[in-house]
Structure formats: C-alpha cells, structure tokens
Structure 1
Amino acid sequence: MSEVPEAEVVFVVADLAGYTALTEAHGSKQAASVVTRYVELAQEALEPGTRLVERAGDELLIVADDAARALRVAARLRDAVEREPLFPTVRVGIHAGRALEQDGRYFGTPLNVAARVAAHARGGQILCTEEVRRLAGEPDDVEYRPVGPVRFKNVTDPIVIVEVVAGRRAGEPTAVDPVCRMLVRPETAPARLPFAGRTYHFCSFECARAFAERPEAYAEA
C-alpha cells in the first residue's frame, strides 16, 4: 500500500465556552439542542475551500485550503453564534501546517496546536498562530492584536499567538450568565442580582436562584 503524503492544511478548532456549565444548569436535552444548532451555524459559515470534517461533543474541526478563508469562516461562525438568543459563546483557535488525512480524519502536530490555541482563547475570541497570520496576510476587515508567545503542554517551543479582530458584531451581547455561561443582553435579561459590587445578569429565574444560593461558586474574581 502506497504511503499517503502529508499536505498543507489550515485547521480551525471551535468549541463552546461554558458548555459543561450549560449542561449542568439546563440539562442534556437543551445542551444537545444547542450543539445541533451550533453545527448548523458552522455549516452556514463555510465557503468554498473549507469543510466541517469532525465533531466531538461541542468541539468542531473545520479545515481550509487557505488561511484567509479560515479567518473569514471563523469570524462568520463567531458572529452567528453571538446573534443567537440564549446561546453560549464560542472560542476559536487556528493553526496551519503539514498533516496527514486518513479516512476523513486528520493527524499531526498542527491539529494538536490548533486545539491548544482554541483552549487558550476566551469566549468570543478568535486566536491564530503567527504562521496563520503570515499566510493570510492583511485581508480586508481583519486586524491582528499580539498576544505573545505561549507555551503549551507537550509542545516543545513557545507558539506566537495573535488575536484576530474581524467581522461585524451587530447587537453584541455585553454579559454572560455566570451560572450557565449563556450570552445575555442586560437590557432584556429576565433576572439580575448584585454581588460584591457587581451586577450579574441571568438567562432565567432558575439560574438566578442557583446563583443566589451559592454566589461565591459562580461570581467572577
């Protein structure tokens, strides 16, 4: 059997920040509905030269043949997620390099690095490596903010990371429910509670009640 050659691939790894908290607060049925919708949004964000190839729980793997396309898809997905009512935030990591595809699955260090970069991102944030920034150049409506070199477990050298600022965030939510980690708009949140000099907003009275019972377990430092 001939050996399958490695190829240059851009990996986009996206997962839902706070998905575990959402499942605990609202149950597996609602969590499954959120993931179903999340996959639909990812499919809608794709463009020629990009594919959704794998899902593991709330983590999606998108591959692209071009770094600029990868950035656009990531921005569209992030913006679509943030327009959804009562939805968690998404965090995205992007890296590029040579990898092996076998039976529709990818293997290689670049994929592992992309996953580590995604885990390093905050909810709503798109991070990419300096390699991706170099390959993508300066596309329209994209800016980069330096994050710096980051050391990841089992990765020998530090990876230089930049934040990708792209897309339009019309109606961007400004609060996250501290219990279930869903995006909420303060002006329409069903409930709000003060604690330690801050006001917290909630997607439901159930989440507000859980917070009131144990605020120290949910309040941000």
Structure 2
Amino acid sequence: MTIDPFSAADEFEHADVDTVVIFVDIAGFTAFTEAHGDHRAAELADRFAAIAAGALGPGDDMIKTLGDAVMITSSDPAAALAFLRRLHDETRRIDGFPLLRAGICAGAVVKRRGDVFGSTVNTAARLAAVARPGQIVGNAEAAAALRGTDFLAMTSLGALRLRNVSALVEAFALDVGTRHQEHVDPICRMHVTTDAQSLTIAHEEDTYRFYFCSTACLRRFADRVGDMSTSPGDGDLQSTPSFFAEVAAHFDTLGSSPNGRESAPSSTRSTSS
C-alpha cells in the first residue's frame, strides 16, 4: 500500500496556533558536569525543571524538558518575559545556582498532542544557543511587542545566521535584570559571591580576580594556567593565551579582564586568598 503524503496531511490532527516559544538552559552545564560529576549534574537539571514548572504563569505551558533545558510556551511576549523573570528570581535564591540563558521566538507553531513543532520552535532553540550566560535573546516579532515597556532594555544584535535556520533572524538582547551581580566560578560555572575563595592573577597593568566554589575548582583553574607548586604570591606562571580567551569570553568580552580592561596575557603572577 502506498501512502499519499497529501491525504495523510489532510488527516493529520493538529492545531495551527500563534504563541511564544521559550527555550531556557543552564549556562556552562557541560563544565559543571565535568567539575562535579554526572550525579550532581543530573540533580541540578532535575531541580531546574522543577523550579521552571513552579514559575509558570496562567498563560504558560511546560512543553518538555531536554537535559538541562526546558521548553515553554507563553501566550504573548510580555508573559514570556514575566516567566523568565520569575524563574531568575527563584534560581537566584539558591546558593551557587549557575546562570541561565534563554531564547524566545514569537510566531506560528503546529500543536499536536501537547507538543509544538515548526520553525518558531527551531528558532527559539537557536536563539538560546547564541545567548550569553544571563542573557535573553528574542526575535524581531517578540522585541516589537515589548518596545516601550518600562522594565526592559533592548539591544539589537543584527541579523544572525542561525544553525539549520535558512533565513537570517533579526535578534535582540532583552534585559530584564536577569544577570547575577556577583561572580561565576570559571571552572564549573557555579554562581559564587566575593566571600568565596579567590585567585588574583596580575599581568602588566591588568589584574584578574576569579572566584571559586571550592578549593578543587581553584586548583583545577591554577593547573590550567600554570604550575602552582611554589607558594602563593611567589610563583611566576606561564599562562595559556587560548585559556585566557576562553575565560574572557565567559565574562562576555573576548580578551578582556572581568573588570573590563583589555589584555591578552602572556605571563602572570598569582596570589590566592
């Protein structure tokens, strides 16, 4: 028997709806897994999914969980931003919880058996993938609906070429205060405060200070920068430029220190506290 794809499509039970698709994941989840192991990573992902479910509003639906990510639909862009803000507030209350990143895309989807499909879904996932830690990235339709809201700052990212999305997507970074103000462990990406163990690396006129969730992460960081077998403050370390680029990228600007001064270190001196 031959299946006619056109007649099959006619009989396909679904609904074509306009919605806002949200993808949110844990920034640096792979790094967290490497630093703390599979079991802690699985526990973190499970806890995140539970927090996201608890942050849903009247117009929100939890569509699915995907590893360390959740996929949500909201009735409109304002509801989507309100959900993300509630989610951020809940995770900030948890000591050490990593930063989140999100993509939102307003548009049409195919809804079937509690799931949603289509280019809007794919675009939302890709926008989340390009978002930086603590950042929300939305498409032009979502951004247009949010212009003029008093709690939102918006920055154009231009037309982006997203993986497996044929057309360029006009994207915007949406700021609703979802960035942590403290620091992030550069090894495992956990959110830490200035009371945590720190390592200061000085190079020429620039000073880099990094904070760590534990001695283990501090030592792993130091091992990647250089040999810390000498006493703190006395060891000349040979840094790896690519590693500093990786760390700098984590702080949002390639080649810059956490305090915003630009540098590409080639040799360093460290002190720990």
Residue pairs, 1:27-66, within 5 angstroms: 27-66=37-76
Q: Of 124, 129, 137, which aligns to 1:119? A: 129
Residue of structure 2 equivalent to 1:20: 30
Change (3 A) 1:37 1:2: closer
Q: Of 200, 205, 212, which aligns to 2:215? A: 205
TM-score under structure 1 normalisation? Answer: 0.90
Task: Give the Å deviation of 1:78.
Answer: 2.4
Q: Distance in 1 between matches of 2:175 and 2:42?
A: 29
Q: Distance in 2 between matches of 1:58 and 1:134?
A: 29
Residue pairs, 1:136-147, within 5 angstroms: 136-147=146-157
Identity of aligned residues (%): 36
Residue of structure 1 equivalent to 2:198: 192
Residue of structure 2 equivalent to 1:84: 94
Q: Of 173, 178, 198, which aligns to 2:186? A: 178
Greater mean deviation of Cα atoms: 209-218 or 199-208 = 209-218
Task: Give the Å deviation of 1:168.
Answer: 7.2
Task: Give the Å deviation of 1:140.
Answer: 4.0
Aligned residues: 217
Q: Distance in 1 between matches of 2:88 and 2:130?
A: 16
Change (3 A) 1:2 1:24: closer
Residue of structure 2 equivalent to 1:71: 81
Task: Give the Å deviation of 1:142.
Answer: 2.2
Contact in 1 for aligned 2:88/2:178 (Cα 8 Å): no
Q: Of 83, 98, 102, which aligns to 2:108? A: 98
Residue of structure 1 equivalent to 2:270: none
Deviations 1:107-164 (A, max 9, x none): 1000000001001111111111111122345334223222222111222222111121
Q: Distance in 1 between matches of 2:209 and 2:56?
A: 37
Q: What one-letter code is carried by the residue in structure 1 that aligns with 2:181?
A: P
Deviations 1:63-100 (A, max 9, x none): 01222101111122123223321111100000011111
Contact in 1 for aligned 2:51/2:87 (Cα 8 Å): yes
Determine which structure has greater relative contact order: mean sequence separation of CA pairs < 8 Å that are 6+ residues apart, divided by chain length: 1
Greater mean deviation of Cα atoms: 16-25 or 128-137 = 128-137
Tell me the secondary structure at the aligned position of residue 127 of structure 2: helix
| Aligned-pair Cα RMSD in Å | 1.9
Deviations 1:29-76 (A, max 9, x none): 211221122122212221101011100100110101222101111122
Unaligned runs of 5+ in 2: 1-10, 226-239, 249-273
Unaligned runs of 5+ in 1: none
